[in-house]
Amino acid sequence: EVQLLESGGGLVQPGGSLRLSCAASGFTFSSYAMSWVRQAPGKGLYWVSIISGDGGNTYYADSVKGRFTISRDNSKNTLYVQVNSLRAEDTAVYYCAKAQLYYDSPGAFDIWGQGTMVTVSS
């Protein structure tokens, strides 16, 4: 069964850090780009970052650039995001998602994890 399982969320003070993880199973992890998407309470979806299958290419939303770092360990089938300098507006459920392969480029998100909640508050 294809599955993504996030972990690492929690309550953190403003300015703090966390590392979120996403364990993948049921597919050839290294063949697909992986992404983080977040959703603030009661709000819509917001794309955060993406990393290519080999980890060589990364892209970020402007609001997290310089504070978040996406990475992956293909030997462990795990995706990560290091989130630093957290702000109240980073409070959200963070989903990891697998991107389809679409004409040799990342495409739509066909598999999603259940999400992990990050709350930034003093």
Interface with another protein by CB under 8 A: which residues?
Answer: 35, 37, 44-47, 50, 59-62, 95, 99-100, 102, 106-110, 112-115
Report the greatest alpha carbon distance in the chain: 46
Bridge partner residues of 117 (DSSP): 93
Residue 104 burial (CB count, 10 A): 6
The three-state secondary structure class of 9 is: coil
Residue (29 or 109) nearer to another protein, CB? 109
Residue 14: CB minimum distance to another protein, A: 24
Is residue 6 within 8 Å of 80, Cβ to Cβ? no
Residue 112: CB minimum distance to another protein, A: 4
Residue 77: CB minimum distance to another protein, A: 19
Residue (37 or 81) nearer to another protein, CB? 37
Residue (23 or 45) nearer to another protein, CB? 45
Residue (82 or 112) nearer to another protein, CB? 112
Query: What would the 3-class secondary structure string for 33-88 be?
Result: CEEEEEECCCCCEEEEEEECCCCCCEEECCCCCCCEEEEEECCCCEEEEEECCCCH
Residue 57: CB minimum distance to another protein, A: 10
